[in-house]
Amino acid sequence: MRIIVGVSGGIAAYKAAIVVSSLVQRGHQVQILMTDGATKFVQPLTFEALSGRPVGILVTDQPAGPISHVKLGQWAEVLAIVPATLGIMSRLALGQPSDLLSLTYMSYRGPVVIAPAMEPKMWLHPRTQEHAAKLSADDTQIVGPVAGHVASGDEGVGRLVDPDFLVRAIEHATAPKALSGIQVLVTGGATWEHFDPVRAITNPSTGRMGFEMAQEAAFLGARVTYVHGPRAADFGTLHPAVTAIPVVSAQEMRQAVWDIVGSVSIVVAAAAVSDFRPVASAKQKLHKSDITGHWEVTANPDILAELGQEYGGNKFLVGFAAETDNVVASAQSKLAAKRLDVIVANPVGASLGFGNYEHRGQIIDRFGGTAVINEGSKEFSAQQIWKRLVELYSQEQ
Ligand code: CTP
């Protein structure tokens, strides 16, 4: 994609360098425009080196050869502003361009992504909110800011969203919102079945797959409920269209799922639910002297199989099967037994699957169709899986 990244003058300007570096590595052409203020925080040379193009700063600058702000506006497929200060937001909202970046914005027609970063008090000021509302009404996508620590030492909503999240928001800016208006439920992470407050049966699943499935669905326009085990949402900025519901045990996950499932059309069960739980769980920490030689366990409910019983053939149900052997055959039998529409079969072993960032597998549908998931990050897998799910889901409607 051809992307203009505008950098305005705030302390978060250094994070724009991470965003630009990542966009370039992902194969995009990036033209940087900086406000004069931004150059006080980061040297233009940094951006020039990262983007491989001269940086535009003054209206008289002609970045990328003899090119005007009008031509820049025609060249770009996406315009992103990282970070956006109150100053640039007000110039854009009021239509008072005074620099190359705001002039380019005025002469550009296409998706715009703005990532504000400022003091929490400034962000919450009614004028700032008016500017943000006005820009949103013009179809400008405002991404963040998020809550956290800001440069002044304060805590509050004013922090730039994570660079990774911004890169994805920029990439999705031109993509059709294939899941717009659709409610999706995703389960993710391992459940923890406690023997006592400090010990539990669990497994090494990090929850990254469920998290990426929830995020990608939201980027595609869905409203998502993400029911997840401990720490399975700790992978950066959560999309605002994702509501995360943390749970610990399989029984809690089952309850949270049944509370919401009536209102969703698609269920993606990516959780690594513990198949067993202790029959008894001590309220206080057990000591060596309390151990009698064996612990009794009992089977947990199969959350997805129960959903299949109730909604199979009615709601669109997607399962995941992590297998060490007979990957496709085992996945196919789970698809049939749990009355699913689709199952994602994943080989797991020493170097793949659980906790590993790399991922590959196959998408098997109930008509016997298969699609291969090319190897890559779990973000890339989630993109491929959703692409296929959207096709299959729309065929069934
Ligand atoms: N699943 C579930 N509740 C369970 C067990 C599994 O919802 N108690 C869901 C998982 O989220 C996944 C699918 O069922 O989408 C398959 O899970 P997996 O652990 O691969 O298989 P199991 O059904 O547990 O069978 P087995 O342990 O025999 O492989």
* Same-domain pairing of 89 and 166: yes
Cβ within 8 Å of residue 149, ≥6 positions away: 155, 159
* Residue 117 contacts residue 146 (beta carbons within 8 Å): no
Q: Answer whether residue 63 shows pLDDT above 80.
A: no
Return the axis-axis angle of helices 250-260 and 303-311, rounded to nearest 10°: 30
Q: Say whether both 205 and 89 belong to one domain.
A: no
| Least confidently predicted of 88-97, 201-210, 349-358, 363-372 | 349-358
Q: Helix, strand, coil: what percent of the chain each, to 5? A: 35, 25, 40
Residues labelled catalytic: 203
300 and 257 in one domain?
yes
Task: Quote the CA–CA distance of 227 and 209 in Å, as a whole number.
Answer: 13
- The pLDDT value recorded for residue 152 is 81
Both 65 and 115 in one domain: the answer is yes
User: Which residues have CB under 8 Å from 290's CB, separation 6+?
Assistant: 282
| Domain co-membership, 127 together with 258 | no
Report whether pLDDT(172) > 50.
Answer: yes
Residues 150 and 281 grouped into a single domain: no
For atom 21 of ligand 1, which residue has the closest CA?
A: 321
Residue nearest to atom 25 of ligand 1 (CA): 334
Residue from 193, 273, 335 to probe ligand 1 pocket by mutation (most atoms less than 8 Å from CB): 273
| Closest of 384, 98, 393, 359 to residue 205, by C-alpha | 359
Residues 228, 338: one domain?
yes
In angstroms, rounded to a whole number, what is the distance separating the alpha carbons of residues 305 and 322? Answer: 16
The residues pairing with 272 across neighbouring beta strands, listed in sequence order, are: 190
148, 3, 22, 38: CA torsion to nearest 10: -50
Q: Are residues 169 and 225 in the same domain?
A: no
Residue 26: C-alpha distances to residues 49, 149, 176, 216 (Å): 16, 29, 20, 17
Which protein residue has the closest C-alpha to ligand 1 atom 24? Answer: 275
Q: How far, in Å, is the centroid of ligand 1 from the Cα of 9?
A: 50
pLDDT of the residue at 349: 67
pLDDT tier for residue 61 given thresholds of 50, 70 and 90:
low
> What tokens does 122 get?
């400034």
C-alpha span between 226 and 253 (Å, rounded): 10
pLDDT at 62: 56
Please check the confidence at residue 28 and state whether its pLDDT lies above 90: yes
Looking at every residue in the chain, the average pLDDT score rounds to 92
CATH of the domain at 274: 3.40.50.10300
In the listed set 111, 140, 174, which residue is the last one of a domain according to the structure? 174
Q: Determine contact, residues 52/27, Cβ cutoff 8 Å.
A: no
Nearest in space to 382 (alpha carbons), one of 193, 190, 172, 181:
172
pLDDT value at position 187? Answer: 98
Q: Which residues of 340-362 are buried (b: 16+ CB within 10 A; e: fewer)?
A: bbbbbbbbbeeebbbeeeebbbb
State in Å: Cα 204 to ligand 1 middle: 15
Q: Say whether pLDDT at 50 is over 80.
A: yes
Q: Which of 211, 251, 302 to mutate to test the pocket of ligand 1 (most atoms within 8 A of CB)?
A: 302
Report pLDDT for 202.
Answer: 96
**Residue-level pLDDT at 66:** 44
Q: In this structure, what DSSP letter does residue 288 have?
A: G
Is pLDDT at 188 greater than 80 in this prediction?
Answer: yes
Share of the chain above pLDDT 90, in %: 78
pLDDT range class, residue 354, cuts 50, 70, 90:
low
For residue 318, the ligand 1 atom closest to its alpha carbon is: 15
Among the ranges given (218-222, 312-316, 349-353), the one the predictor scored with the smallest mean pLDDT: 349-353
Domain end residue (candidates: 150, 174, 198): 174
How many separate domains does the chain show?
2
Is the pLDDT at 347 greater than 90? The verdict is: no
- Quick check: 163 and 19 in contact, CB under 8 A? yes
List the one residue out of 203, 191, 193, 198 whose CA is nearest residue 290: 198
SS3 label, residue 123: helix
- Say if ligand 1 is within 6 A of residue 172 CB: no
| Mean pLDDT calculated for residue range 132-152 | 91
pLDDT at 72 (0 to 100): 81
Instruction: Check whether 58 has a pLDDT greater than 80.
Output: no
- What does the pLDDT read at residue 286? 87
Å from CA of 308 to ligand 1 middle:
12
Asked whether the beta carbons of 9 and 91 are under 8 A apart, the reply is no
The reported pLDDT for the residue numbered 355 is 54
48 and 196, same domain (yes or no):
no
CA–CA distance, 280 with 298 (Å, rounded to integer): 10
**Whole-angstrom distance, CA of residue 42 vs CA of residue 11:** 9
Do 370 and 390 fall within a single domain?
Answer: yes
In this structure, the answer to whether residues 20 and 140 fall within a common structural domain is: yes
Give per-residue pLDDT as tens, 83-102.
999 999 999 999 988 889 99
Q: Ligand 1: does its nearest atom lie under 6 Å from the Cβ of 179? A: no
Segment 315-333 shows an average pLDDT of 91
| C-alpha of residue 175 to centroid of ligand 1, in Å | 33
What are the tens digits of pLDDT across the range 277-321? 999 888 999 888 877 778 899 999 999 999 999 999 999 999 999
CB 383 within 8 A of CB 389: no
- Domain containing 255 equals 183-396
Q: Given the structure tokens 């959207």, which residue do they identify?
A: 390
Is the pLDDT reported for residue 261 higher than 80?
yes
Q: Is 306 in the pocket of ligand 1 (CB under 6 A)?
A: no
From 149, 174, 199, give the residue that closes a domain: 174
The pLDDT value given to residue 359: 55
Examine the domain organization and report whether 146 and 50 are in the same domain. Answer: yes
Distance 272 CA to ligand 1 centre (A): 7
